[in-house]
Amino acid sequence: MRNVWLESKNIQLNISSNIKSGFDYGFDKGIKKDVKSEMLSFMKWIEITYSVPITIWIDFQYKNYLLTRTKKRVGFRFYWNDFVDYPSFYNSTEIPIIELAVKADSWKLDEILTSFIEAMTYYYCWLLNIDFIDCDLEFADSILEEYKKYKNN
pLDDT digits (tens, 9 = 90+) for 67-89: 999 999 999 999 999 998 999 99
Q: For 33, what's the count of Cα atoms within 13 Å in the CB-facing half-sphere?
A: 0
Across the chain, where does the E strand assignment appear? Answer: 14-15, 23-27, 56-61, 66-67, 73-74, 76-79, 88-89, 97-101
Cα gap 113→100, rounded to integer Å: 10
Length of the chain in residues, anyone? 153
Burial group, residue 72, by CB count within 10 angstroms (0-12, 13-18, 19+): exposed
Cα gap 140→123, rounded to integer Å: 13
Residue 150: closest CA among 51, 42, 52: 42
Q: Could you state, in order of their start, the residue ranges of all structural domains in the chain?
A: 4-152
Specify whether the backbone of 71 is left (phi greater than 0), alpha (psi in -120 to 50) or beta.
left
User: What pLDDT does 139 receive?
Assistant: 84
Q: Give per-residue pLDDT as tens, 94-149.
A: 999 999 999 867 678 999 999 999 999 999 999 999 988 888 888 899 999 999 99
User: What pLDDT does 106 receive?
Assistant: 64
Specify whether the backbone of 118 is left (phi greater than 0), alpha (psi in -120 to 50) or beta.
alpha
User: Going by DSSP bridges, is the β-strand pair 56-61/73-74 parallel, antiparallel, or unpaired?
Assistant: unpaired
User: What pLDDT does 103 receive?
Assistant: 84
Q: Give per-residue pLDDT as tens, 31-69.
A: 999 999 999 999 999 999 999 999 999 999 999 999 999
Cα gap 153→150, rounded to integer Å: 5
